[in-house]
A and B are shown apart, each in its own frame.
Chain A
Amino acid sequence: MARARGKAGQGSVWAAVPGLVYLVALVLVPLIIIVIFSFLSRAKLGVGVKWEFSTQAYADLLFSESLAGGRSFDPTYLQIILNSFVFALVTAGVTLALSIPIALWIATRPAERRTALIFLVTIPFWTSLLIRTYAFVIILNDNGPINGTLGWLGLIGEPIPMLYTPFATVTGLVYTFLPFMILPIYASAERFDFRLAEAAYDLGAGKWTVLRRIVLPSIRPGVIAGMLLVFVPALGSFLAPELLGGGKTSMIANVIAAQFGASRNWPLGAALSVLLLIITMLVLVGFAVTAKRVSRTGGSNTWEAML
């Protein structure tokens, strides 16, 4: 029977099916495979896994086996996870400090100029992550522009070693994720009603009081969204520690990559991946709870603002 439709032209749910099936096959299924792999045994040679149930991979995360067969606690991987946390946290902190002034400054420009300025902020995000990271290989080099300038000014005799240090890794991470912090804070600041600031001035507040007591509390949803958008991907970063850390400051992603590459221990790599996923989810849930407490706005607008 040809029933009259209530929602003309709004398509059918079926249109979404091919896309959803594809995403299940290429996003959900791989995640499930990783979880399965983490409970299997290491293949004797080459790539892949041996289909034999084992919790060895998870044991390897905490213990190492000596040649004699004894098990001893080995904090290597825990240390790397802790390192990753610290790197991600420092990255989020530094980007936050850099982002608040520029986000507020852009938000107080005339409307026509705001869109253009925000576009300028987003351009680097759309360029290759590899090239952006490589740029710091050049800049932080012993012969690079920073050491070159300092030497030319006579401020230093020897070049300061900057490349292949934790400092280089963090610098690369900050550079990579800066737009992710600026945009949500800007989105909050743009919505801020500056008549509130005027009211505060009228009641006798000075610039810094207005900033601290009126403006900053109102952009908190943006700050929380920004922390999330920086912290989570920074935690799983691969390129910055790989190219700038020089193997001395590995993060989780580098260890995972190594297990699927040279070390050839796929179950261990899978177990680390599962761990990284769990940490990511916990962080997301934590932020979601915080964000819900603070406000309903934030994260989702960021993508829309960027596009």
Chain B
Amino acid sequence: MIRRARGSGEALKDFPLFGVMSAAVFGFLYLPLLFVVGYSFNENRVVTVWKGFTFDWYVDVLQNDDIQRALMNSLRVATVATALSVLFALGLAIGMLRLARAGSTLAWGLIGAPLIIPEIVFAIGTLSLFVQVRFSLGVDAITLAHTAFCIPFALLPIRARLRSVDLSVYEAAADLGANEWRIFRRITLPLLVPGIVAGALLAFIISLDDFIVSYFLAGPGGTTLPVYIFGMIRNAITPGVNALSTLLLLVSVLIVSISYVISRRKR
């Protein structure tokens, strides 16, 4: 009896065909990525004409000096941009809690700006800035620009975490004799660790995956992995592009999964 009552309640919530349509949308979301992965094992030089299974493209790609250099550039940019953006975001999260309302609206506009401004405008804007102040293009220029647009991504999980903390916990610490610095070190920081880790991971993949900004700021020596892949797509598409893309996809999915697990974990 109980089961049937529940069943009919659930059926009332369902609408015809919505399940099928949802499955189709999930297919649409994942099939393209699966094709990229699948064709990376194609023996044929022509990507979309299947000939046979091989790992050769991976070997090929990993042994390529230019790709190794691009990978190192990407990792360097992502690591430094992540570290810087997390530090800035930590300060912002803590400082914004006490900012007066008028100031906070302006500040939020500034923090959200990299998410709203079209990326192409941000790219040519920073390009113009660096050219104007004669800062040479390359890995450092990319890092500085990435830091700016990684800040909102690093900030959101930290802020969410900070806001979930019962304010009386800080009061209790002060009441028990902790001054501001000790409250920060013993209470605030340990409580924020999951948010900081999640924010850092997000900033890292956002930087690692960025193409447009890196493309405009790369200069002669600053080719990152996505910029290199773009060049490959432009010149000659081989399953090598797919192999490299698959590796990058793997890293992204892995990192976002870790971030998901951390931010969902019970405190």
Contacts and interface: CB of A to CB of B under 8 A. Distances in A.
A211 interface: yes
Interface string B141-161: 000110110010100110010
Contacts of B29: 120-121, 124, 175, 178-179
Contacts of B87: 18
A91 B167 CA distance: 44
B16 interface: yes
A217 B17 CA distance: 20
Give the size category of B's interface with A.
35 or more
Contacts of A130: 209, 211, 226, 229-230
A128 B244 CA distance: 12
Nearest to A136: B32
A101 B22 CA distance: 6
Contacts of A178: 25, 28-29
Given A236-B118, A260-B216, A18 B160 contact: no
A87 interface: no
Interface in B222-250: 226, 229-230, 233, 237, 241-242, 245, 248-249
A27 B22 contact: no
Contacts of B125: 30-31, 33-34, 273
Interface of A: 5, 7-20, 22-24, 26-31, 33-34, 37, 47-48, 98-99, 101-102, 104-106, 108, 115, 119-124, 126-132, 134-139, 141, 143-145, 148, 175, 178-179, 182, 194, 197-198, 201, 207, 211, 232-233, 235-236, 238-239, 243, 253, 256-257, 260, 266, 269-270, 273, 276-277, 280, 284, 303-304, 307
B152 to A, nearest CB: 8
Query: Which 8 pairs from chain A and chain B are nearest by CB?
Result: A16-B95, A9-B170, A236-B118, A30-B125, A8-B174, A135-B32, A19-B88, A15-B95
A19 to B, nearest CB: 4
A253 to B, nearest CB: 4
Contacts of B193: none
Contacts of B242: 138
A7 to B, nearest CB: 7
B132 A134 contact: no
